[in-house]
Every structure is written in structure tokens, then in C-alpha cells.
Amino acid sequence: MLGSLIPSIKVKHGRDGVKEGIGVSFRPENFIPGVVIGFIIGLLLDSTKFPKNPTKSYVLGGKDKTNNSPTYGDPHEDLKMVLVVRQDLKMGPGKIASQCAHAAMGMYAELTQSQRSLLRQWEQCGQAKIVVTCKNLKEMNKLEQEAETIGLPTFVVADAGRTQVAAGSKTVLAIGPENMPLVFRRGVYQEK
């Protein structure tokens, strides 16, 4: 009956008159080596996804001598993205969380287009984020300008204006990812 439903599988009668069909291929001597080989291939493919030891040299805000693109910190230290939230807008906690998510996703999208190696490095560090506050738009703009001056990527969220703040209000500034102690030493943020 199985042979008539699936023409590519031939059903044969063994010595004892028992039918052997598709179950023949699932014997341990056939199945286990297949699972082991599949597992090893999976490990090899996964390990080639991200390089363990990048060959580029990284210097804060410097230029890579080979391709003139900005380079960032020590690749073996943790990178963090800083999300700067404006206090003067008096956003609720849910609104702040939503705006921070927009900022992180916006920065991620920009980095996929412009700085994939930095993005990969940040992903390997666990995609850490720090949320800090600033007093107003003037302070946010100053932080954005200072970050861009030293070569850090930035992204600003402009709200759609459907809930708590006016349309077009700049709510959150995303800076980095970058090695945070270096950024603090450069004076972009003040440690509190």
C-alpha cells in the first residue's frame, strides 16, 4: 500500500515476509552519522558568521589607514550605545521606552548601511545601551554636535506627535556604539 502511494519508495518483502519500506533509512547506523555530520556543518557555518579576531586596528575617532573610514576603540572592550532623553518634554515612562527603542533601531538601521564592522562588534558585545538625560533641546544639540565632531555616529528621533509631545519634537538622541570610558574622557558626557 505504501508503495502505491509514494512511487519512489519501493516496498520489498524480506526473508520473513515482513515489508521493509521508508523505515529502513531510520536505522541507528544510518541516522546517527547523519545527525552528527549535520551538527558539525551547523557549527562550522555558525562560526564563520562573525570573525572572532577582527584584523583592523581601532582608534577612537581616527581613520583606518587602508580605507579612510572612521575606526572605533579597542575591539576587545565593550561597546555601548548611549540614549540621551530630553527631560523638558515630561514624557511618561512608556513614551520614553518607545522613543528609546526608536532611537536604537534607527541607529541600527543606519549602521547596517554605513558601518557594518562597528555594528558586528557591538553585536558581539551584547548590544549594550545606557540611557541618560539632558535638560533640553539646546543641550541635546550640543551633545550631538560634540559626538559628531569626534567621529561618533548619531541618530535623533523626531516624534510623530500622536500622543504626549508635539509633532517633530526631538525626543531622544542615540550616540555610538562606542567604548564608554573613552567617550567620557573625551568630554562628550559628564560622569555623575
pLDDT band at 78 (very low <50, low <70, confident <90, very high): confident
Q: Lowest mean pLDDT: which of 33-42, 134-143, 162-171? A: 33-42
Contact 118, 111 (CB under 8 A): yes
Domains and CATH numbers, the chain: 2-47 (no CATH), 62-186 (3.40.1490.10)
> Is omega for the bond preceding 177 within 30 degrees of 0, making it cis?
yes
pLDDT in tens, 85-139: 999 999 999 999 999 999 999 999 999 999 999 999 999 989 999 999 999 999 9
Alpha helices in the chain (DSSP H): 2-5, 28-47, 93-114, 116-124, 137-149, 180-186
- Confidence (pTM): 0.59
> Which distant-in-sequence residues (6+ apart) come within 8 Å of 91 by Cβ?
85, 99, 164, 165, 171
What span, in angstroms and rounded, lies between the C-alpha atoms of 61 and 147? Answer: 10
